[in-house]
Homo-oligomer: A and B are copies of this chain.
Amino acid sequence: MTEIDRRVRRTRGNLSYALLELMVEKGYDAITIQDLLDRANVGRTTFYDHYRDKDDLLVEGLKNLRSFLREHQRAAIARTGPLRDRALGFSLAMFEHAGEQRALFRAIVGRRAGTIVMQHVRRMFQELVRDDLAALGVRGTEVPVEAIVEFAVGSLMSILMWWADLRSNVPDAAHADAMFRRLTIPGILAAVGR
A residues apposed to B, CB below 8 Å: 114-116, 118-119, 142-143, 146-148, 150-151, 153-159, 161-163, 179, 182-191
Q: How many copies does the complex hold?
A: 2
- Residues on the B chain within 8 Å of A151, using CB: 155, 158-159, 183-184
- Chain B's nearest CB lies how many Å from the CB of A144? 8
Contact B182 A187 (CB under 8 A): yes
Listed residue (A163, A179, A185) with the most chain B CB atoms within 10 angstroms of its CB = A179
When C-beta atoms are compared, the residue in chain B nearest to A156 turns out to be B154
Please report whether the interface of chain A is mostly helix, strand, loop or mixed according to DSSP. helix
Contact B155 A159 (CB under 8 A): no
- Residues on the B chain within 8 Å of A142, using CB: 179, 182
- Residues on the B chain within 8 Å of A187, using CB: 155, 182-187
Please, how many angstroms separate the alpha-carbon atoms of A119 and B118 in the complex?
12
Listed residue (A118, A158, A163, A191) with the most chain B CB atoms within 10 angstroms of its CB = A158
Contacts A142-B179, A151-B159 given; 11 further ones with Cβ under 8 A?
A: A114-B115, A142-B182, A147-B183, A148-B183, A150-B158, A154-B155, A154-B159, A182-B191, A183-B188, A185-B187, A186-B187
Contact B158 A153 (CB under 8 A): yes
Contact A154 B143 (CB under 8 A): no
- List 23 A–B pairs whose Cβ atoms lie within 8 Å, in order of A's numbering: A115-B118, A142-B179, A142-B182, A143-B179, A143-B183, A146-B162, A147-B179, A147-B183, A150-B158, A150-B159, A151-B158, A151-B159, A151-B183, A153-B158, A154-B156, A154-B157, A155-B158, A155-B187, A179-B191, A182-B191, A183-B187, A185-B187, A186-B187
